[in-house]
Amino acid sequence: MRVIFRNCAVLGLLAALAGCAANNERYPSLALRPFETGALPVAAAQPAAPIRPVVSADTLGALRSKAMAAHSAFSSRETAAAPIVRAGMGRSIESNAGAAALVAMAELSSQRGATSAVLADLDKLAVDAATALAPDPAITAAQTDVAAMLASQDAAIARLWEMLGA
């Protein structure tokens, strides 16, 4: 039994050594190929022009107008809320001035929500455009503008909360 096992082991070893001595031309090289090293130039994909836009210019203009109206309403409420917040500075929320300041801050947050809703609509349009493989730079520009409005509103709200001491 041992002799058979030893003979099989020797034959297996000889077969393995014979495989190592084979011609190298039959098997592919394991060296890096040119595209793996970045040596080949890669052509940039040019986005194809959409067949038809996902959103009309009128719809996009209406959303921009809605965002501008919401932002101007926020600005007017911010102007009205600033003296109310100053009057409530350092006061307890149980006081009339403290309660009025909290209400003014709630109104500002509510008005910010109107601007945020327009951004959500623009985001949905951007998703629809991406799904249709028709990205629209006008939607992206509108998103950027409305996001900048929201950032300024957030800064104003944060400044007023800081004044209020909360």
Spatial separation of the C-alpha atoms in residues 24 and 27, rounded to whole Å: 6
Between CA 38 and CA 34 the distance in angstroms is 6
- Whether the pTM exceeds 0.75: the reply is no
Q: Is the pLDDT of residue 38 over 70?
A: yes
List, for residues 90-113, the tens digit of each pLDDT value: 887 778 888 999 999 999 999 999
Predicted confidence band of residue 19 (pLDDT cuts 50, 70, 90): low
> What is the structure's pLDDT at 150?
96
Q: What is the pLDDT of residue 91?
A: 81
- pLDDT one-digit tens code per residue, 117-144: 999 999 999 998 888 888 888 999 999 9
pLDDT the model gives residue 69:
96
Give the tokens for residue 112: 């910010």
| Lookup: tokens for 42 | 């890669």
Q: Are 100 and 84 in contact (CB under 8 A)?
A: yes
CB-based contact 140:54 (threshold 8 Å): no
What is the reported pLDDT for 133?
A: 80
Q: Is residue 116 very low, low, confident or very high in pLDDT (cuts 50, 70, 90)?
A: very high
Comparison of pLDDT for 4 and 88, the residue scoring more: 88
Give which of 77, 78, 67, 68 is closest to 159, Cα–Cα.
Answer: 78
Supply the pLDDT for residue 10. 64
Region at 90 (left for phi over 0; alpha for psi -120 to 50; beta for the rest): left
Determine the Cα–Cα distance for residues 10 and 147; give it in Å rounded to an integer.
75
Residue entry with tokens 């600005």: 75
Angle (CA) 115-121-123 rounded to 5° is 105
Q: CB-based contacts of 142: which residues, under 8 Å, 6+ apart?
A: 60, 63, 64, 67, 122
CA 144 to chain centre: 12
